[in-house]
Amino acid sequence: MNILIIGGNGFIGTNLIKELLHQSTFILIYLRKNSKNENFEFTNHKNVEIVYGKFDDVDFIAELIKLKKINFFIHLASSLLPSSKIEDYRLEEESIIKPTMELLPILAKYKVKIIYFSSGGTIYGKSKSGKFGENDKLNPISYYGLSKLLMEEIIQFENRRSGLEFLILRPSNPFGPGQKSNKNQGIINVIIEKGLTGSELEIWGNGDAVRDYIHISDLVNAVIKLMRMNIKNEIFNISSNYGMSVIELVKIIELFINKKIKIKYLDYRKNDLSKVVLNNNKLIKHIGTYTQNQLTEKIKGFIDYKSENLFYE
């Protein structure tokens, strides 16, 4: 596989690249000009080439696709968060959504499959059950979720228009090595860090919000299996299919670190959903056995990792 990846210097991207490189894959990592990082761990890897540029330079990216004989385009780029405001969304439209729309016909022309990372936690919206399958109605209530919905729609439009091949992935909440201490990434990561450092944990509401969580290794392995099986024009939830509340997470982590975590409760936020659990039956049907049932043990393993690496990240 010859892969071009944008957004490859984030949490999911770096873990995905690391695993792909175990399989003798050539990866072209396209980074924004202002994101240069001399310590980027793949800088000197023999199967990696890093190019810095602007994402809206579509002609340049098209030339790279042709020159490097790219056959997979992994799209992880986004500047939004679930809390982003309309001003942030407008910037996302100009810097990510519109350039992607221009690039999609070029991918179709060169028969490049796009692997798009959408959102499992924000794209579905609210429901009484809080359990969502891929065919459920999409009702995002945040600008982040809206941007993901729009991206999914333009990808499927280009599939109908020009035959673009795609995989749209809706991951739940990943955790594991690579989540940065200085970015407050992921609630499991944050709870562990607050517990290890004795800092105060802020919880919005009373801690009853339920999500499902997936270890980054399970997420990455599922993605690579789907890529290698040549599955196309499908949408997949990638999740553990198991819901856990914030307070449940706190209690598990307190048990493993053997101390109480200080908590400050804040008012509910209007865009917070009470429960989002992603049904992963379709994924299991396609890729077979799927490691998903050792969540507590994997949280313990992540605590051990953070204990050793927290102050070196």
pLDDT tens digits, 252-273:
999 999 999 999 999 887 777 8
CATH of domain 2-173+214-238: 3.40.50.720
Q: What is the mean pLDDT of the chain?
A: 91
Q: How confident is the model at residue 41 (pLDDT cuts 50, 70, 90)?
A: confident
- Answer positive or negative: Cα dihedral of 270, 141, 127, 121: negative
* Greatest Cα-to-Cα distance within the chain, rounded to the nearest angstrom: 57
Q: Is the pLDDT of residue 291 over 60?
A: no
**Domain boundaries defined on the chain:** 2-173+214-238, 176-213+242-312
Q: What is the pLDDT of residue 59?
A: 96
**Alpha-carbon distance 8 to 99, whole Å?**
17
**Span 46-73, pLDDT tens digits:** 999 999 999 999 999 999 999 999 999 9
**What pTM value is reported for the model?**
0.94
Mean of pLDDT values over 223-245: 94
Surface-to-core class of residue 264, CB atoms within 10 Å of its CB (0-12 exposed, 13-18 middle, 19+ buried):
exposed
Q: What is the pLDDT of residue 125?
A: 87
Q: How confident is the model at residue 38 (pLDDT cuts 50, 70, 90)?
A: low
Q: What is the pLDDT of residue 293?
A: 57
| Cα dihedral: 142, 143, 148, 152 (round 10) | 100
**Alpha-carbon distance 32 to 52, whole Å?**
5
Mean of pLDDT values over 145-174: 97
Q: How confident is the model at residue 312 (pLDDT cuts 50, 70, 90)?
A: low
Mean of pLDDT values over 204-231: 93
* Cβ atoms of 33 and 52 closer than 8 Å: yes
Domains 2-173+214-238 and 176-213+242-312 share a fold: no
Q: Is the pLDDT of residue 274 over 80?
A: yes
CATH of domain 176-213+242-312: 3.90.25.10
